[in-house]
Structure 1
Amino acid sequence: MTNARVFDPFAPDAGQHLGGAFDDQAILEGPFGYAVLGYELAGAVLRDRRFQNSALRLMEQFGITDGPVHDFRARSIIMVEGEPQLRLRTPLARFMSPVTVKNTRAVLRTIVEAIADDLDDSAPIEFHNTVARRIPSMVYCHLAGAPMSDAPKVQSISERTLSLLSRDPSLTPTILEAYDELFAYLDDLIGRKREEGLGEDMLSYLIALGDEGKLTELEVLTEATSMLEASSVNTAHQAALVVWTLLRDRNVWKRLSSDPTLIPAAVVEALRLYPRTGVVSKIATEDVEVGGVVIPRGADVHVAVWSANRDPERFENPELFDLDRERNQPLTFSTGPHNCLGQGLAKAEIEEVVGFLVERYPNATVVEDGTRVGQAGGRWLVDTLLVDLKP
């Protein structure tokens, strides 16, 4: 397959593509491998177990080819398939149930209000760093039964381990150091829980499953590592992206202020337009035909979620924010056997942030000067988000 023009899903200007097929092709080949741009094909690839997550290959491209960090990634929930994946996914899926999400909302409100009480709202605030980045790690501490004072450490570890997604090999020392801190932190936390007695939290739940023989000791540590690793950075950026999107559309914000029951729909629509995880990378484990194209075994396949979410074949007027959009099921949290286990909680966190702003600061606006949002490595990033809470 050849293309008159090469499309690179990781290029800084990739977001200029409006979405869906490029030159009438929903899947393209280039130096990077294959890019899947259309909604239907993207969903098919994400659901197909013949495509394996490429996180281990990416780690090896950073020079991390052996050792404890490499071993963790090789056995992690995003890499394994079949029965091993079911063993790892089922306990977390049960714990991260809608009941847990519902029960966590009161804690979320308390966290958001506590952060807000520390703000000086007499002048514009940098919302991403002062609010959005702080919330997910505090939620993790609540769920994991860790002291709330550990939140800054959890936030730092999550951000540094997942800097892998920047695709910048110069960060290898930073990544390895962060994983060393992560393993040591969890060893200490698990030890303290055993000494003090298990509770009703997520980490206690995993330890108990290990004690019952339902998970091995190594699987308990793998589960705990995966949850801490993914706990903070993506949700923080996504929350800031949603706030940025909604505050810039004054008609939408006015509707939310008059009818807060519309907040969940508004969050989903913002997630569709600006997904933090803009690209999900896979590897074909065998020759697979996708959209009439045979992808050879071992090839890199990059699902451009941001393009699929704006596919005009699936979404009418996809570039527009439509609060009344029907059948709105973006691929922001992936789909299939490896969809995001924490998506319900992530949505709840974002909804609570938006709900708080709607209630306490209905006139809040984005200060464009001093706000920097863009794409890098296929992901939407918030560098700074300046918000005037009381204009």
Structure 2
Amino acid sequence: MTTSHALDPFAPDSPTHSGGAADGQSVIRGEYGYAVLDFALATTVLRDMRFVNAALTLMEQFGITDGPVHDFRARSLIMAEGARHIRLRTPLARFMGPTMVEDIRVELRTILADIDPGGRSDGPVDFNETVARKIPARVYCLLAGAPAEDAPLVARLSAGTLALLQRDPSLKDSILQSYDELFAYLTSLIARKREQGLGNDMLSFLIGQEIEGKLDAEELLSEATAMLEASSVNTSHQTALVVWTLLRERETWKRLQEDRSLVPAAVVEACRLYPRPGIVSKIASEDIDIAGTTVPAGSDVHVAVWSANRDPERFPNPDAFDIDRERVQPLTFSTGLHGCLGQSLAKVEMEEVVGFLLDRYPDATVVDEGTSIGHAGGRWLVDSLAVDLGPARAGRSVAEATP
């Protein structure tokens, strides 16, 4: 039986444990429940359908035990299992296919050119505020067929609803208010699409699924809500973390300027080192043995992605940035049937932001003064990212510079 361990995977100082098993233990126990630390076991738990999503329980611990927000979460895709999970996931997986993702890549270059922060300040810019926070919401509006001017609202609603993951009960009222506003926004947007005619966007696709009888009205709103709440906040933080990492790896940055084919590998390696979704929480649906520890039914089980991603048994010299790693595939976007649906799109967003900097501001550097990045609740958090862009490469737009 696993005994209590001093390591708290949610504590701000938890990354002082570099990664992998702690004192030879892959599973540890504390007041939070159980934590899984190494890569192999984390992968096993994330793929084991006996461990169910803990999002509904977290809401209930906040005192959200009934009402529309509780009902949404109970019916949502992340809480669904078995045949219902496959039925709800399939439409979104089809829509978010490779063709759509590559189409978005082209649109991203236009968006980046539009929000280009260069020339608006004589000193460093907050890249987190001026770029990273804007991109995912603009992409969501493009996907959903919403006006681009809705992007600030989308970003605010995504941050407001996912504030649940901060595990701070004092945020209950603001979280409920954010969901109420989100439901109203999507209900209005869906109604306008029905009235004005469907297009080629994601919401139109989901409405079409309802018309064909593959989704009911509640499931349509639930799927649209899930996509909006997940659309912005995590991707914006992860994008800023990738830029922060790569701009400090100057030798790697030089290699990326010389060989753009390395950008995807660089993004994945940065996501391995600094995963925004650092904890994936599950609940054991029955008594389950993991690594010789019997986890009782109903127990909280937290997969410490930040630890698994630096497991020395899986990633030699795990604290080092190594663009040439083989078998990287970190757990930043989870794995298994509940792996992140939007991970391909998120990676493309990050790749294009890096490409934008390489093409337009190859001399960009991080300025420590004005940069605030920390770790809390198992997640890496970006408050600000000061970047000295340096001189712009004259005469080249993002669309022209990127093949």
Q: Using the TM superposition, give the Cα deviation of residue 292 of structure 1 relative to its aligned residue in structure 2, in angstroms.
A: 1.1
1:1-391 aligned at under 5 Å gives the runs: 1-3=1-3, 5-116=5-116, 120-390=120-390
Instruction: Tell me the secondary structure at the aligned position of residue 78 of structure 1.
Output: helix
Instruction: Tell me the secondary structure at the aligned position of residue 214 of structure 1.
Output: coil
- 1:135–1:236 CA contact under 8 A, matched in 2: yes
Q: Using the TM superposition, give the Cα deviation of residue 119 of structure 1 relative to its aligned residue in structure 2, in angstroms.
A: 5.2
Measured at CA, do residues 289 and 169 of structure 1 come closer, stay the same or move farther in structure 2, by a change above 3 Å? Answer: same
- 2:117–2:125 CA contact under 8 A, matched in 1: no
1:290-317 CA-to-partner distances (Å, cap 9, x unmatched) read: 1111111000000000100000111111
Q: Aligned-residue CA RMSD in angstroms?
A: 1.0
Alpha-carbon distance in 2 for matches of 1:323, 1:129 = 27
Note the residue ranges of structure 2 that are not aligned, 5 or more in a row: 392-403
Alpha-carbon distance in 1 for matches of 2:340, 2:142 = 20
Q: Using the TM superposition, give the Cα deviation of residue 5 of structure 1 relative to its aligned residue in structure 2, in angstroms.
A: 3.9
- 1:121–1:389 CA contact under 8 A, matched in 2: no
Q: Using the TM superposition, give the Cα deviation of residue 3 of structure 1 relative to its aligned residue in structure 2, in angstroms.
A: 3.9
Q: Using the TM superposition, give the Cα deviation of residue 260 of structure 1 relative to its aligned residue in structure 2, in angstroms.
A: 1.3
Alpha-carbon distance in 2 for matches of 1:117, 1:198 = 34
1:69-112 CA-to-partner distances (Å, cap 9, x unmatched) read: 00000111111101111111000000011111011111111111
- 1:122–1:390 CA contact under 8 A, matched in 2: no
TM-score computed with the length of structure 2 as normaliser? 0.96
Alpha-carbon distance in 2 for matches of 1:59, 1:282 = 13
Note the residue ranges of structure 1 that are not aligned, 5 or more in a row: none
Q: Using the TM superposition, give the Cα deviation of residue 118 of structure 1 relative to its aligned residue in structure 2, in angstroms.
A: 6.7
1:270-297 CA-to-partner distances (Å, cap 9, x unmatched) read: 0000000000000000011111111110
Alpha-carbon distance in 2 for matches of 1:237, 1:211 = 36
- 1:281–1:300 CA contact under 8 A, matched in 2: yes
Alpha-carbon distance in 1 for matches of 2:289, 2:369 = 47
Measured at CA, do residues 4 and 211 of structure 1 come closer, stay the same or move farther in structure 2, by a change above 3 Å? Answer: closer
- 2:4–2:29 CA contact under 8 A, matched in 1: no
Alpha-carbon distance in 2 for matches of 1:101, 1:184 = 28
Measured at CA, do residues 144 and 118 of structure 1 come closer, stay the same or move farther in structure 2, by a change above 3 Å? Answer: farther
Across the two proteins, how many residue pairs are aligned to each other? 391
- 1:28–1:36 CA contact under 8 A, matched in 2: yes
Which of 113-122 and 181-190 deviates more? 113-122
Q: Which residue identity lines up with residue 252 of structure 2 in the other structure? A: V
TM-score computed with the length of structure 1 as normaliser? 0.98
Q: Which residue identity lines up with residue 144 of structure 1 in the other structure? A: A
Instruction: Tell me the secondary structure at the aligned position of residue 77 of structure 2.
Output: coil
Q: Which residue identity lines up with residue 176 of structure 1 in the other structure? A: L
